[in-house]
Amino acid sequence: MSSYATILLGLESSCDETAAAVLADGRRVLGQAIASQADFFAEFGGVVPELAGRNHAAKILPVVKEAMSRAGVTYADLDGIAVTSGPGLTGALLVGLNFGKALALGLNKPYVGVNHLAAHLQVTLLAENAPEPPFVGLLVSGGHTALYEVKQGLTDSPELLRFRLLGETIDDAAGEAYDKVGRMLGVPYPAGAILDGWANEFTGKAETFTRPMPKGLDFSFSGLKTAVVRRVKELKGKDNTPLDEQTRHAVAAGFQQAAIETLANKALAACKATGLTDIVIGGGVAANRGLRRLLTKQAAAQGITAFFAPMEFCTDNAVMIAARGYQLLKAGKFDPSGLEASPNMELGVGE
Ligand code: KG4
Ligand code: ZN
C-alpha cells in the first residue's frame, strides 16, 4: 500500500521517445524511464514514422517496467493510466494507447487520453515557483510553435487548465527549423541542443538573417530556414567547399539569434494583447539557453515574468502526460475505453 492519494502511470509515444512515469498526487515523480530513438534516427536525418512505431512496440514494456521498479510501486497501487492520444505519428501513438488501454482494462483502472501539447505546458507547473493561471503559454517544440491564453476553471472542474489559441506557426515549427538548419550544417538529428551550444560559445561575428515576423501572434520559420539555405550555398561557393567550423558556428549563431528574437517578440506581444503578466514556456525548444536568457531579460524590462519548464521536462517525457492526466481524471474528464489516436489533435482552437 502506498501513502499517496493518487498514483498515475503516464505513457508517451507520440514521436521518437518511448516514456513512462509514475506520478503521485499530480506532482511527485516517483519514477520514470525514457528510451529515446534520437540516435537511431540521427542517421536518417529525422524520424521515419513506420520505424518509430516498431521501435516503440519493442521498448514500451521494458520502459514501463523500469519506471514502475524505480517508483517502487506495484500495478495494484496505480489509480489510473494516462496516455498521449495526440497529436503525433499514428503508428507511434497507437503503441502507447493500446498498451495503456490493455493495462487499464486488465487492472480495471481508469484510463485517460492526454493532449501532448497541453501536457508540455501543464508540466511547467510542477516547479515550486511556477505562476498561477492565468498566463500566456508559449509552446515551442519540434512539431509545434504556438501561443495560448491559459486559464483555470470550468464550473465543473475549477482546477483544470484551459487553453485558448492566440497564434501559431503558419509553416515550420521552431524545433523543426533547428533540425533542418542542423542538417545543412552537418549536425545529426535532433540538432537544437547542439546549435544552441555553438551559438552560446560563439564569440565572433555572427551571420545576420532577417527576422520572420508575420502579422499578429502567428509565427513563420520557413523563410528563415530558406535564408539560411541560401547563405550556406553562397558560403560554400561554386565548388561546394565544406564550411569550416568557425563559419558553421557563425551561421548557427545568426540563425539562433533570429529564431529566439522572433519567439520572444511574439510572446511579449501576446502578453500585451491579453494584458497578462506571466509567460510559461514549454516544449523541446524551451531548453534553449539563448531563448531562456533573452526572453527572461526582455520580459523583465516590461514587468513580465517568464517561467521556463525545468530542463528535464522540456523535451518529450511521460511525467507531463501523467501531470495532465491527473488533472483530467480529477475533473472526471476521462473515457474508460475506445480512445482513438488523434494524429492532428489541436489545442485551444475555437475557445
Ligand atoms: O518537445 P519535443 O521533445 O518533441 C516534440 O513534441 O516535438 O521537442 C523536440 C525539439 C527538436 O526539434 C529539438 O531539436 C528541439 O526540440 N530542441 C532544441 C533544444 N533542445 C531540443 N531546440 C533549440 N535549442 C535547444 N536547446
Ligand atoms: Zn513534445
Domain coordinates of the chain in residue numbers? 1-127+313-351, 174-308
Q: Residue 4's pLDDT is what?
A: 85
Question: What is the number of the ligand 1 atom nearest to the C-alpha of 189?
Answer: 14
Interval between CA 304 and ligand 1 midpoint (Å): 25
For the domain spanning 1-127+313-351, the CATH number is 3.30.420.40
Interval between CA 315 and ligand 2 midpoint (Å): 6
- CATH architecture of the domain formed by 174-308: 2-Layer Sandwich (3.30)
Q: Which residues does a 6 A CB cutoff place in the pocket of ligand 1?
A: 15, 141-143, 175, 178-179, 190-193, 196, 283-285, 287-288, 315-316
Q: Rounded to an integer, what is the distance from CA 222 to the centroid of its chain?
A: 19
Predicted model pTM? 0.95
CB distance 162 to 151 below 8 Å: yes
Strands 157-168, 305-308: pairing is unpaired
Interval between CA 58 and ligand 1 midpoint (Å): 24
Task: Report the C-alpha gap between 120 and 139 in whole angstroms.
Answer: 7
Ligand 1: residue of 117, 120, 141, 316 to mutate (most ligand atoms within 8 A of CB) is 141
Task: Report the C-alpha gap between 240 and 3 in whole angstroms.
Answer: 64
Q: Is the backbone of residue 297 left (phi > 0), alpha (psi -120 to 50) or beta?
A: alpha
Q: 3-class SS at 66?
A: helix
User: Do 1-127+313-351 and 174-308 agree at the fold level?
Assistant: yes
CB distance 150 to 163 below 8 Å: yes
Q: Residue 279 pairs with which residues in a beta bridge?
A: 136, 306
Question: What is the number of the ligand 1 atom nearest to the C-alpha of 88?
Answer: 6
Interval between CA 136 and ligand 2 midpoint (Å): 18
**Each residue's pLDDT tens digit in the chain (351 positions)?**
567 899 999 999 999 999 999 999 999 999 999 999 988 988 888 889 989 999 999 999 999 999 999 999 999 999 999 999 999 999 999 999 999 999 999 999 999 999 999 999 999 999 889 999 999 999 999 999 999 999 997 666 777 899 999 999 999 999 999 999 999 999 999 999 999 999 999 999 999 999 878 889 999 999 999 999 999 999 999 999 999 999 999 999 999 999 999 999 999 999 999 999 999 999 999 999 999 999 999 999 999 999 999 999 999 999 999 999 999 999 888 765 567 899 999 999 977
Task: Report the C-alpha gap between 123 and 322 in whole angstroms.
Answer: 9
Q: 3-class SS at 223?
A: helix
